[in-house]
Chain A
């Protein structure tokens, strides 16, 4: 039986071609979104793979695949994080903290590192808002669409997240820290509470 003349087969082929195109065009952006959220390349790749699978299952039945794909990535990254055992999560968080960072760190690099660490200590929802709003530069309604929230929630989460980042960076500034060795309890505290 020649399936090529079957209109359903033709539709499926078109869907598959469009899906492949989508992954080719947006795949890097999606895996980077996951990476920005979790900070781990392997987990980002796994979460993105899961998100692409979910997208595949809905392909052809969604009008706007990119917001849906972003949503899948955000959710899959969060799901994966939740699946980590408490101990592993705690270890992973602690492991990210420089126990004894090299003293002559360039200020710019050090600030950047502190900023990323602080961002990754934010609750998942706030972190997703920050990444989507200020890195992917989505509008508030677009961010709300991706996260399945209201625009009001996006605004309040963005505001809280920025406030918290500012507080953390202020409390973590070299002037207040005094010595780099004091960073250990500073970082372990929130990490253990979060775990």
Chain B
């Protein structure tokens, strides 16, 4: 059989086989609903996940001041994100490694989170590798997705207006050389005391505290993750299962996974690292810098 015969046969075979295949009714409407959910989740996750985790865990372990177990050099070691760490400690404390114990250690190390810029890298989004740098002091983040003419830059921040939490996104798209500003807000005002805006996402300290109290959060085991010997913590919030990996020695978070329920898309995997603050990183995380020659357009919805 020569190539043109193969091509001809393949064409007619696929024609016949796919003739009765149609797009399901309501596909466009479903795509809109899922797209909106995903955009909201992305807005929540992209800007503040590390800070939400950090602040959540701090409050979840309220009352445990922690001895500050982070060994010297933690920041530099963790900054690389993929640097191997000393092994041999992962089985040393099996009895102590309850979720509460691990959370307490994380609390101690994240007491110093403000001296870092947290960097997250994920390949979970359509459009290429997504890397974000978050300033824990403000909760603001800068992100780059894709490369070359497909690159998209974005800046995310969260703040209160009359007790209503708002998320602001500025995005510059190299494929169209346009940029926009989008602001979305929570449905209503926050009741009670205001916490940092970064705490207002999916991972609230109160929820984490409830998970701990109800036994929802548990230590699952150990593994080698993102260049770290790490402890796996798992918790469930409605249809979302939240998995945290924290370095077994330093207790800094090194990976976060969100497993969504059916119909809400694939899992989101974020690799975390912690970079010493520099003026340039702080500036880029907090202040949108639109490339020259870009045209502003309305925000898509």
Contacts and interface: CB of A to CB of B under 8 A. Distances in A.
Interface of A: 7-8, 11-12, 15-16, 19-20, 23-24, 27-28, 30-32, 35-36, 41, 44-45, 48-50, 52-63, 72, 75, 79, 83, 111-112, 115-116, 119, 130-131, 134-135, 162, 165-166, 169-170
Interface in B24-39: 24, 27-28, 30-32, 34-35, 38-39
B1 A170 contact: yes
Contacts of A83: 266
Contacts of B34: 49, 53, 56
Nearest to B30: A49
Closest CB pairs A-B (n = 3): A27-B23, A52-B31, A56-B35
A116 B13 contact: yes
14 contacts: A19-B32, A20-B28, A28-B21, A31-B24, A59-B300, A61-B176, A61-B300, A115-B6, A115-B10, A116-B10, A116-B17, A135-B14, A162-B7, A165-B10
A174 to B, nearest CB: 13
A18 to B, nearest CB: 11
A111 B3 CA distance: 15
Interface of B: 1-3, 6-7, 9-18, 21-24, 27-28, 30-32, 34-35, 38-39, 126, 173, 175-176, 178, 265-266, 298-301
Contacts of A54: 126
Contact of B298 (A8, A130, A134, A166): A8
Nearest to B2: A166
A162 B38 contact: no
A15 B27 contact: no
A11 B21 CA distance: 33
Given A32-B18, A54-B126, A79-B266, A135 B23 contact: no
Contacts of A16: 32
A130 B31 contact: no
Contacts of A62: 175-176
Contacts of A165: 6, 10
Nearest to B20: A41
Contacts of A31: 21-24
A14 to B, nearest CB: 11
A55 B11 contact: no
Contact of B13 (A60, A79, A112): A112
A56 B27 contact: no
A44 B21 contact: yes
A79 to B, nearest CB: 7
A19 B28 contact: yes
A50 B263 CA distance: 9
B21 to A, nearest CB: 5
Contacts of A15: 300-301
B1 A27 contact: no
Highest count of chain B CB atoms <10 Å: which of A20, A55, A56: A56
Contacts of B12: 112
Contacts of B28: 19-20, 23-24, 27, 52, 56
Given A23-B23, A23-B27, A83-B266, A61 B173 contact: yes
Given A15-B300, A49-B31, A35 B18 contact: yes
Nearest to A34: B21
Contacts of A32: 18, 21
A112 B2 CA distance: 15
B2 to A, nearest CB: 8
A65 B80 CA distance: 39
B10 A135 contact: yes
Given A162-B6, A166-B1, A75 B31 contact: no
A134 B7 contact: yes
B27 A41 contact: no
B3 A119 contact: no
Contact of B300 (A49, A60, A135): A60
B3 A166 contact: yes
A27 B31 contact: no
B36 to A, nearest CB: 9
